[in-house]
Structure 1
Amino acid sequence: MEEGQLMHDERPAGASGGKPRRRTRVRWMIIAMAAIGTAIAYIDRANLGVALPFIEDDLDLDPALQGVILSSFFWTYAVAQLPSGWLVDRLGARVMFAAAAAWWGIFTAAVAVARGFTSLLGLRMLLGLGEAPIMPSNTKVVSEWFPRRERAFASSVFNSGTEAGSALALPICTILIGLLGWQWSFAVTGLLGVLWAIGWFTFYRKPREHRLASAEEVAYIEGGNTLVAEEDRAAEKALRWRDLLRYRTVWGMVVGYVCRASVVYFFVTWFPSYLVEARGMELLEIGIYGVIPGIASIAMGWAGGWLGDLMVRRGVRLALARKVPLVVGMLGGSLIALAAIAPGVGQAIALLAISYGFLGFAGGAVWSLPADVAPSARNVASLASLQNFGSQIGGIFSPLAVGVMVSATGGYVLPLLVIGAVTILGAAIYAFVIKVEPLTVS
């Protein structure tokens, strides 16, 4: 029997007796739900960026302090990445994703009672702890539910939740702020996280354990999955967590994501303030025009994932199928620098949308890498957490650097030029440093 195929007399959970069933598509329900959870998380983390222009006077926050607050989320988020991937590999995505969503929902809602810099700082750091297992859980879900030929698009689907959440935060939060006040913006969006956690814990199971997944779908998943499903065999091949850091590819994944995140987190944190301060937009205009870059990123993200999977199905080497979206996406993302010198608001929004769209184009390939290079199923979430640690390094320094540069220069020209240059560096790292092949266990 070939590895990953089912014996005729084996019937995984979810299969029923009698005549063969059609192959179900539960995996797409699973990844859609993961994308919704990711979107809620990004609404919650972007909420403060939307609210800051309207609460800075209430809480007495100057631009430098705002940069510290926006950055503080990533201090704990980055540190918690390292143990969260290990926990996801051992406790599973069902438990860890649900626990994370409940945690971040509670501490998002608690921002409604913040009374100043100190309390807001503490709550944002607690929020960072709660959101740390998101991307390791998503990557684990893809490795369990999708064969290699579908992983790039599946990864682009859950990754589109990041752009959808960042984009939806603008209209949702501005409407809540306009109608009810900024406190209700945090209370309502926090409740969404708690409700999603209940739904995820109730619905999610592994393919063989899911009552809705047919035997045919399980066989399809396992037949195209190069990672060994059995825990005992996976354990034999697994690398120790600290040994992952011996590989150049792992460091390339980390540093490459530092570069990508430097642009992404401009949109998550400073983008609303940029629209108000540099482009003179009002609250209603932010809610309308601010979603355009996010929509572009979602569409381009799905396109990048589809292209990567198409290349794999057509027999293109996996390394090339991953690196084309990565390098093209990062180079396109550098167009954010041109927004700094765009004469009108329309041109600036268009350039920002193109930049964010290209970053989305790379997203599916980025999040396929942990499963592509993992020597074992028990290393997937750990690799994802290391990669996402790089993202949070970008998240820590990007808001701080932008805040300092805005305070020093009185505008956004220098920050956008610097961020654009960083994305070109990221393209070079993805092109020349990483190897898209399983890490060799010595």
Structure 2
Amino acid sequence: MHAWRSPAVPVLPAAPGAEAGARASARRTLVHDSATREVRAVGGPRRASLYVCGITPYDATHLGHAATYLTFDLLVRSWRDAGLAVTYAQNVTDVDDPLLERARETGVDWRDLAASQTDLFRGDMEALRIIAPDHYLGAVETVPDVVRAVERMLADGAAYRVGPGADGHGDGDVYADLAKDVRFGLEPMGDGVDEVSRLAEFSAMGGDPDRPGKRSPLDPLLWRTERPDDPSWDGRGLGRGRPGWHVECATIAAMTLGAPVDVQGGGRDLRFPHHEMSTSHLRMISGDARPVGAQVHAGLLAYEGEKMSKSRGNLVLVSRLLAEGVEAMAIRLVLLAHRYSTSWEFHHAELIDAARRLATWRDAVARTSELDDPASADVVEEVRAALADDLDAPRALAAVDAWVGRVLASDTSDSSDERGTAPGGGAVVRDAVDALLGVAL
């Protein structure tokens, strides 16, 4: 599966007084780790790896999706600007129960639905200038890899088979034995920490705590054996079937990044069970006791008083906004105006405010494009520092706003006698806003 086309990203000069090779050690990026509840440095000293859970392609990209992928776009930009060699992997869950259910409801072949929605997602990401992952893999194309991982877990005693379910099907389904992972549950990431709450969360996110024959209610599915009218693949000794959700991500992370992965990320709703369980699977597959350095999660978006979600149908689609003539950079500025880790409610008035901000920034850059402005270097360092401090995009926007305010207040457009030989201040800020915030001016 191919990703989208990445934007060209300007390379910024090193901070004053810093050698380019020393940037990574001098400036580490801090993030909030959902597992430890601490802010910690991630990546380095020379390399960094990132795994982000991708879409289940049964509906178009909404602003909640866009906010999540923009979060990790900022992390990649901050890492690369610090001089790190970044490897970024993302999956597409192009076979799963929600996708199959939507295909049946609409009468569309599930493969066609997945392909069309994945293509639309690529277009949205390209419009928003999100840097593409180095590895972009679908569940379907990685089935053989999942089969090998599950076979290994069975051989190691970290998985087991379960007999038929209540519907008479599923003889030989394979489940992970979480009791074999001594670290599972030591750093719970969901909303609840007691057993009742975790079981409720597990069930709400597609788990089957009441399945007869399981050793523990929380044990997750690794391999679902073939059912009538269900897509299936050759599972070798596992039998025909299809992979579970959590092991899909663990397998792709293992084969593209190895362990440990510096950051595993996604939306806040993936903390539990998905990320706790995929981390457990990665631990079993890799043998690394701490296979993920930090778990980073973006807040959820609300609209019209409720969480934006496909099930509620209250989606603000990126593609629809673009079709209505909203500039992609204004959409990006709306998302940047909110701290990634907080949940917030979208209002259409924010698009108007963002369009004004975009126009003002462009005006200031145009006025100073050929003027030597020493203060522009300070703006670059302020934006760098803001992103390094737990991806504080609102603080970065405020730094640019302050520079723009000074430019427009002083009206430097006619100060041609002050032109210097160095790149103009507007060009410096323009490149920094592009490279670090992803906004094309």
Common fold: TM-score over 0.5: no
Determine which structure has the larger helix proportion and give its number. Answer: 1
Higher relative contact order (CA 8 A, sep 6+): 1
TM-score for both structures, normalised by structure 2 = 0.23
Of structures 1 and 2, the larger Rg is shown by 2
How high is the TM-score relative to the length of structure 1?
0.23
